[in-house]
Amino acid sequence: MGFGEGEMMRRALAFSFGCMLAGTLLGQDLPPATQAKFLKMLITSTGQFGFACTDPGLKPQLEASGVSVSPGFLMAWAASEAEAKALKTAGKMVIVPKRAWLKAGGSIALVDEDRKPTIYLNMANVKASGLHLSDAIIQMAKKPN
């Protein structure tokens, strides 16, 4: 019995996230290489092929993984709380490295929690961006209190 395309994508995403979660990380912020891997999966899950990012540590990691980086894309990385606010105002789906920045306009926070990469979603901001995340990502992500 075969799997449908949606079920295969869900399983592939779950497997990929599980592999990344298996490694331990030190420090509060995720390393740029780990952020880039998660961002590539998030970008793919929305049907996008590129990302807006000016962060000098993250941008080369994204480009090395085959992601087009340009300010015109609908998904964007915010390196500060002020940038998160500005990008949300511009109608972007904003990905941030701090959970607290979800209140400032972030749609998705990629954080190190208990030495594991964790995704948090602010569903109101995700919906406001006009982009849609896959069901697999929504199910595995945490919602802030």
Domain boundaries, the chain: 5-140
CA distance 116 to 21: 6
Burial of 60 (0-12, 13-18, 19+ CB in 10 A): middle
CA distance 84 to 75: 11
CA distance 96 to 35: 10
Predicted TM-score (pTM) of this structure: 0.78
Q: Alpha helices, DSSP H only, in the chain?
A: 5-22, 32-46, 59-64, 81-89, 123-129, 135-140
Query: Tokens in use for 11?
Result: 């399983």
Provide the residue-wise pLDDT of the chain in tens; the chain has 145 residues: 455 555 555 555 554 544 444 333 333 588 999 999 999 999 998 988 899 999 999 999 999 999 999 999 999 999 999 999 999 999 999 999 999 999 999 999 999 988 889 999 999 999 999 999 999 999 999 988 6
